Structure 1
Amino acid sequence: MGYNAPRMGNLKKKVLLFLLAGVALGLTRSYKKQLWILKQVPKEWKKGNRQALQRAINSLYTSHLLSEKHHRDGTTTLILSENGKRKALQFNIDKMEIKKPTRWDGKWRIVMFDIPEKLRRLRDSLRLHFREIGLIELQKSVFVYPYPCRKEIEFILEFYNARRYVRFVLAEKIDNELHLKNKFNFKQH
């Protein structure tokens, strides 16, 4: 990456994820205005130490995970740099889970990909993440899941920049459905 990545404490992770969600921390040269802005952060952060938050922001900035956007009114907005976006996505992807509805809608979600051999590491990473969130490999580079998972798949594809290699299919029937139902621990009627 070209820089030493900082040790990532919970506060730094929260700042990155907060910014990833589209909220920018605006900072000005005025101490009064900085305090006002810091008062606007979520309630869960208010429990913490404001100096710790400021140190976390400074550390993220010096680590090139945040960048500045200067405005005409003299304010500066901190935004995620490309490296920061990638790091924030990494935190989200590591704890991703697909919520299962109480009832199955009878449809299968099929994720297929065709990734060139020169991108084998990408292919292996996708396989690993698809398995980690519960998808089952139907065939080589074809995964299946019984519950809605498109948002999670799109998130993984965004993280790996792999959208162009992947297709998502919604199917009502698969010929080995009984085997898949057993794999997904469906109760027999």
Structure 2
Amino acid sequence: MKKRTRLVKYGEISKGVLTYFGDALMAGYSSIEGRRGGISPMMIMGYLEDLLKSIKTDQEKNRKLLRVLKNLEKQEILDLQEKDGKVIVYLKNKNHPKIVEYSIKNILEFKKKEKKWNGKWFLVFFDVPEIQRNKRDYLRKLLVRLGFYQYQKSVYLFPYECEKEVTLIKKIVEGAKYMKYIIAEKIEDETNAKAYFKLLS
């Protein structure tokens, strides 16, 4: 029996586009902001080549990508302009929470791949008031999405320095103002955390 091709979902394409812009900002490509130059959808499509390979025709790829770009424009993240009959994509707001989240995630992923662990742990903990539990729950989910390990209910850790990234989190999440950042030389029961970050020798 022939194996059925998995259809790529719009949500996956949207995450891919946000990752693209997060990567671009991390690399310092300021030309994607405002009206400084913008980029073509073809550049984004090239970045998403592996994700879109299950879509048979270029026409269908263009249609789906354009739909995602227009949706991100409605969210005030991107700005689409037409020049000489071609669509140019601009990053409308580099401080949008979703863009900042993907930028932070890309930076932390880079640190996990490229940096050598020095044995220290970088902890984030918070005590958000019960009346703001929705913000507290969102913050917990965000830290997990960013790659932090949940050490205790409101204590998360990362094996590499991340103070700047934590400061950015405080800017985009209202409940994050209750966050504290600590550097620990050693923690108890660190085996699970080391396994999570693939640091067991």
TM-score range, shorter chain: 0.5 to 0.7
Structure 1: tracts of 5 or more residues without a match: 1-6, 28-33, 69-76
User: Please, which runs of 5 or more residues in structure 2 have no aligned partner?
Assistant: 1-9, 50-57, 81-88
Matching of residue 120 in structure 1 with residue 133 in structure 2: yes
**Structure with larger Rg:** 1
The answer to whether 1:143 aligns with 2:152 is no
Higher deviation after alignment, 149-158 or 90-99:
90-99
Which residue is 2:4 aligned to? none
- % identical aligned pairs: 26
CA-CA distance at 1:166 after TM superposition: 0.8
The range that moved more, 12-21 or 126-135, is 12-21
Distance 1:78 1:134, change over 3 A: closer
Distance 1:78 1:109 in 2: 35
Moved more, 8-17 or 122-131: 8-17
CA RMSD of the aligned region, Å? Answer: 4.9
1:172 aligns with 2:185: yes
Q: Is the CA contact 2:170–2:176 (under 8 Å) kept in the aligned structure 1?
A: yes
Q: How many residues align?
A: 164
Instruction: Name 1:26's counterpart in structure 2.
Output: 35
Query: TM-score, length-normalised on structure 1?
Result: 0.54
- The equivalent residue for 1:80 is 92
What residue is the counterpart of 2:17 in the other structure? 14
CA contact (8 A) 2:18 2:98 kept: no
TM-score by length of 2: 0.51
Is 2:119 the partner of 1:106?
yes
Q: 1:85 to 1:103 in 2, by over 3 A?
A: closer
| Alpha-carbon offset, residue 94 of structure 1 | 7.6
Shift of 1:105: 0.9
- Distance in 1, matches of 2:182 and 2:166, equals 12
Offset of residue 106 of structure 1: 2.4
1:135 CA displacement: 1.6
In 1, the alpha carbon distance for the partners of 2:19 and 2:186 equals 41
Give, in whole Å, the separation in 2 of the partners of 1:168 and 1:89.
19
Q: What is the letter of the counterpart of residue 151 of structure 2?
A: E
Q: Which residue of 2 aligns with 1:4?
A: none
Partner amino acid, structure 1, of 2:118: D
